[in-house]
Structure 1
């Protein structure tokens, strides 16, 4: 056996090993054969076959199948069973299914298969584009894509904003699959150079009805214009649109409509328990507080209509500490904060999330027990998407809707049209608790919370007023004073709505004129003022008629009877100023009456300023504020003769045309400027040449020990005067440094003869007690080197022509 083993080993070594190129060729051939078999299986696939129940029944590549197995996806849902086979055959799809039915996998599996069949690589560019209406949903889609596509070699990216545009642009060119939001993607298509989408194979729109509505219409239209026409398009949503205009905008070709639950009795999951509560607007927060206190061990999402309401309810309830973890999420938060809050709520066991509709579509929060809609949604589709956050994937869930009495009949009719079963429930009296006093106390203590309450009131009333469905949202029947009081506000906030000249006149009216009615007695005693009395802070606040916050219910607390509202007042939408009827009252508010004289007119340059109020009279005392009414001056330039001319004199077009063709004039101008440049260049070169020659001559003279006379135009030298020949007009800026005194009384500007005649030769220094003979000889040698023939000589490599050289020269002269 040993020999046989040796012989076998010798025979194995004598066999030539296969080369790497041959191995790659064989692997490529096997891959092509597998791909051919897979494509043939797709062609033979029957999309409506009842035998397709699991992912293993579909002709999928091994990379996709293994990713699905690793992510524990085995059984197909209804929408997946209906949409994936059609998408594998290359059809455009309009998919509609209930929330939580698995629409994400219904388009992610075809995306991976489409690129795999096309043998897509990183060098082919962008192959698939998935568009989501919200950032949270885009992040969720991207996470699922990473799970099921873990065995593919495609590169995937997430483009949702929150980072710098340049940082995202650097990675776009290497991505095969992009998950994005419409606005950010359009920004890259317009601004990122080299971003190519001409090879796009498949386009996916998740929550397509939201993407194609008026909020995203312009962005989607512009985005589709950048994309190629020859592509596959998949649209999925819980409430799908069949409008021809939408289909034409997206260039769909014979789309297949897939509605997995079209024949179902309900458009919401059957395991979802739905109910509604009729509560007045003034008791809405009380009902919400009682609901939270009753369901402390639950996971709750509370939907509100605006981000300002979310902030106010979150901040006020957080101060009251209901006993459950509170979170809030709205569109104005930074991306990092939104991601963190989403992650915290998804991982929490018991928590309450106050949110706007940014998480109403597609976002999958696990194990949500309750969905509370504190504000009525704008339509039935929004209701369906909101309640879809619970009862997902055959799990149970409950939803409750708060309706104002005026909204009940209209909205129940809308839900009935959408086949949404819902039943009415009543709140137990024992569970009701008023929190108005607590909120009022917190708003009184915190100006920030009161400000949030005012903004929440304004945003809610404005949203109700602007709703299109007037059969549901009846603004005139809302109890706004009661709502403001329930928020803890000291009065009903006012919103500017009335516009026009009347508002301008009221705005310019003095405060004393507007509030004159409250300062005078109207009982027929000739307009005498009432006796001054001590007033509280709230009495003063209630008398302010032209402020942002009116305190109507404080008047009730003070015992004053509220004035009945007239029909004209009801027609106005929360006007900031008082509504004055007639020109007479308007003129009186402006500081006069209808029969008074015309207002004073002041001329300011070419314009006129009408003084019709005390505010305008005060304006005349401020020069700074009057500048905007004055005419702007014109800049002038003066010629040599002292004549003024405009700063820019533009030639008439006809005069310019008479001078000749523009090309000829341009050539003449260029030729003239070229000659000027040449002449200046010759002069500069000659000047530089003369300076270099003078410098060499002075260097040679210095080496011979000769004196160098200063010539006109040259820099002053040591021993020469500091003035030029023209009487000092071109004064040397370094002359002052040269005139500094030298040690021993000599000036830099004196010649050697003047220095010798004005002082005695330097004496030898006495030897110090610590110096020996060698030190003395060295010192004498240095002295002899410094002085030759009784003259002080300083050696320099070149002529001092800048400040540093002169400083070094001065330092040498000052040495002992």
Structure 2
């Protein structure tokens, strides 16, 4: 199948070719025709399988089919949970609309309010925004949602995790005259996303895309057992010096980011860093430096686990294991994107072994240990003792 087979405008097909999209992915093949029927959509697809284009292309097609007669405010609103993801969606929206007269804008936290006002005051077809900042502008009567015809929620499960459900519901209420709502999530498991969808969507078409073998991430996964923090740091330094082209290294706290950055620098390894509550200009600069290849190592907290689309990341390294198994999946999704090969390595101390077991069960495959000859652990990894369920006794 080609993009032209999806009845997309020539300008959009040309843009897709310019971006480097050869053929539609499974989520694009399933979502685009349904979206062009103006039905509400509840969709899930693994990270790195073209989800962004799956909602931007039909939204742009609608705007081209039904051009506005007079200048006005936002017609298509895309809500994103994080600043970085919002900026990436904005960049892709600009590329997709490059051969059209459609106008795109982006507002996120950390940006000057005056810049936001200029964006919102313009003739705007597509707006990508983070929920918190947009709602501030709605409350201050700077943003008007009455012209919104299509509302798109990207990474809905992440929005719920970050506590945005109430704000998103209020924004949806402000855009109550819309004709279509699309909700995209990495997973539809659990009651959270389902309940969220029931509140916002009207008789949605449900799409769960199973990526082809070509689209699936080819990510090798293994772990190294570490005796303590000193041993774990030595393992990381060895891996970064000997095995890695470029890598995202995940840690658990902001304090750990600074400590690890300084530690790597003392070993002659340059890195940039990304964390929460970081000025937006510095966040953008860190990502730009990493994407350009000037610096090969990005140290980050889980703020970067979702949506950071950096081509050809060779390794993801869990210096600290995440608390939840699904966070692990989102972390390693930064490598092996769009069918490329990648490597995910976890550095596991004794207290992480239980989490490692949870992750293995969640992904349905074991994460096998490997050893570096010069850095063998002195102690054996503890075995996980499964707790037996107590039998209920009849009174």
1:367 and 2:309 correspond: no
- Aligned residue number for residue 370 of structure 2: 426
Question: How far, CA to CA, are the matches of 1:410 and 1:372 in structure 2?
Answer: 15
CA displacement, residues 588-632 of structure 1 (integer Å, 9 cap, x when unaligned)? xxxxxxxxxxxxxxxxxxxxxxxxxxxxxxxxxxxxxxxxxxxxx
Q: How does 1:84-103 map to 2 (within 5 A)?
A: 84-103=32-51
Q: Aligned-pair distance for 1:431?
A: 3.7
1:133 and 2:81 correspond: yes
Question: How far, CA to CA, are the matches of 1:371 and 1:140 in structure 2?
Answer: 20
Question: How far, CA to CA, are the matches of 1:395 and 1:269 in structure 2?
Answer: 8
Name the structure, 1 or 2, with higher relative contact order (CA <8 Å, separation 6+).
Answer: 2
Q: How does 1:170-185 map to 2 (within 5 A)?
A: 170-174=118-122, 175-185=124-134
Cα 1:380–1:289 shift into 2, 3 Å: same
TM (normalized to structure 2)? Answer: 0.87
Q: How does 1:509-658 map to 2 (within 5 A)?
A: none
1:343 and 2:288 correspond: yes
Question: How far, CA to CA, are the matches of 1:338 and 1:121 in structure 2?
Answer: 38
Cα 1:335–1:122 shift into 2, 3 Å: farther
Give SS of 2:337's match.
Answer: coil
Cα 1:284–1:202 shift into 2, 3 Å: same
Any gaps of 5 or more consecutive residues in structure 2? 379-384, 387-395
Question: How far, CA to CA, are the matches of 2:70 and 2:219 in structure 1?
Answer: 44
- Aligned residue number for residue 155 of structure 2: 207
Give SS of 2:206's match.
Answer: strand
One of 237, 246, 253 as aligned partner of 2:196: 246
Cα 1:161–1:414 shift into 2, 3 Å: closer
The question of whether the paired residues in 2 share the 8 Å contact of 1:275 and 1:424 is answered with yes
Give SS of 1:184's match.
Answer: helix
CA displacement, residues 439-496 of structure 1 (integer Å, 9 cap, x when unaligned)? xxxxxxxxxxxxxxxxxxxxxxxxxxxxxxxx99xxxxxxxxxxxxxxxxxxxxxxxx
Cα 1:260–1:315 shift into 2, 3 Å: same
One of 331, 352, 356 as aligned partner of 2:297: 352
Give SS of 2:161's match.
Answer: coil
- Aligned residue number for residue 111 of structure 2: 163
Question: How far, CA to CA, are the matches of 2:128 and 2:178 in structure 1?
Answer: 20
One of 271, 274, 283 as aligned partner of 2:221: 274
Question: How far, CA to CA, are the matches of 1:289 and 1:67 in structure 2?
Answer: 42
Question: How far, CA to CA, are the matches of 1:54 and 1:261 in structure 2?
Answer: 19
The question of whether the paired residues in 2 share the 8 Å contact of 1:274 and 1:399 is answered with yes
Question: How far, CA to CA, are the matches of 1:365 and 1:374 in structure 2?
Answer: 20
Question: How far, CA to CA, are the matches of 1:327 and 1:433 in structure 2?
Answer: 29
1:83 and 2:34 correspond: no
1:236 and 2:184 correspond: yes
Q: How does 1:308-347 map to 2 (within 5 A)?
A: 308-322=255-269, 325-347=270-292
Give SS of 2:374's match.
Answer: helix
- Aligned residue number for residue 303 of structure 1: 250
Question: How far, CA to CA, are the matches of 1:141 and 1:230 in structure 2?
Answer: 21
- Aligned residue number for residue 138 of structure 2: 189
Cα 1:81–1:427 shift into 2, 3 Å: same
Question: How far, CA to CA, are the matches of 2:69 and 2:224 in structure 1?
Answer: 56
Q: How does 1:484-495 map to 2 (within 5 A)?
A: none
Give SS of 1:86's match.
Answer: helix
1:290 and 2:234 correspond: no
Q: Aligned-pair distance for 1:85?
A: 0.9
Q: Aligned-pair distance for 1:301?
A: 0.7
Give SS of 1:129's match.
Answer: strand
The question of whether the paired residues in 1 share the 8 Å contact of 2:216 and 2:338 is answered with no
Question: How far, CA to CA, are the matches of 2:13 and 2:370 in structure 1?
Answer: 50
Question: How far, CA to CA, are the matches of 2:33 and 2:360 in structure 1?
Answer: 33
1:57 and 2:1 correspond: no
- Aligned residue number for residue 358 of structure 2: 413
Question: How far, CA to CA, are the matches of 2:300 and 2:138 in structure 1?
Answer: 31
Q: Aligned-pair distance for 1:105?
A: 0.6
Q: Aligned-pair distance for 1:208?
A: 1.2
The question of whether the paired residues in 1 share the 8 Å contact of 2:27 and 2:50 is answered with yes
1:386 and 2:335 correspond: no
Cα 1:165–1:121 shift into 2, 3 Å: farther
The question of whether the paired residues in 2 share the 8 Å contact of 1:122 and 1:176 is answered with no
The question of whether the paired residues in 1 share the 8 Å contact of 2:272 and 2:295 is answered with no
Question: How far, CA to CA, are the matches of 1:406 and 1:320 in structure 2?
Answer: 26
CA displacement, residues 715-734 of structure 1 (integer Å, 9 cap, x when unaligned)? xxxxxxxxxxxxxxxxxxxx
1:404 and 2:349 correspond: yes
Question: How far, CA to CA, are the matches of 2:210 and 2:225 in structure 1?
Answer: 30
The question of whether the paired residues in 2 share the 8 Å contact of 1:139 and 1:158 is answered with yes
The question of whether the paired residues in 1 share the 8 Å contact of 2:325 and 2:358 is answered with no
Question: How far, CA to CA, are the matches of 2:355 and 2:332 in structure 1?
Answer: 19
Q: Aligned-pair distance for 1:310?
A: 0.5
Cα 1:62–1:120 shift into 2, 3 Å: farther
Cα 1:277–1:121 shift into 2, 3 Å: farther
Question: How far, CA to CA, are the matches of 1:417 and 1:315 in structure 2?
Answer: 34
CA displacement, residues 25-47 of structure 1 (integer Å, 9 cap, x when unaligned)? xxxxxxxxxxxxxxxxxxxxxxx
The question of whether the paired residues in 1 share the 8 Å contact of 2:78 and 2:129 is answered with yes
CA displacement, residues 539-580 of structure 1 (integer Å, 9 cap, x when unaligned)? xxxxxxxxxxxxxxxxxxxxxxxxxxxxxxxxxxxxxxxxxx
Question: How far, CA to CA, are the matches of 1:105 and 1:201 in structure 2?
Answer: 18
Question: How far, CA to CA, are the matches of 1:248 and 1:344 in structure 2?
Answer: 41
Q: Aligned-pair distance for 1:177?
A: 0.9
Q: Aligned-pair distance for 1:122?
A: 5.7
Structure with the higher strand share, 1 or 2: 2
The question of whether the paired residues in 1 share the 8 Å contact of 2:31 and 2:207 is answered with yes
The question of whether the paired residues in 2 share the 8 Å contact of 1:212 and 1:220 is answered with no
Question: How far, CA to CA, are the matches of 2:19 and 2:271 in structure 1?
Answer: 32
Q: How does 1:15-94 map to 2 (within 5 A)?
A: 53-94=1-42
Give SS of 2:100's match.
Answer: coil
Cα 1:166–1:59 shift into 2, 3 Å: same
The question of whether the paired residues in 1 share the 8 Å contact of 2:106 and 2:119 is answered with no
1:256 and 2:205 correspond: yes
CA displacement, residues 505-531 of structure 1 (integer Å, 9 cap, x when unaligned)? xxxxxxxxxxxxxxxxxxxxxxxxxxx
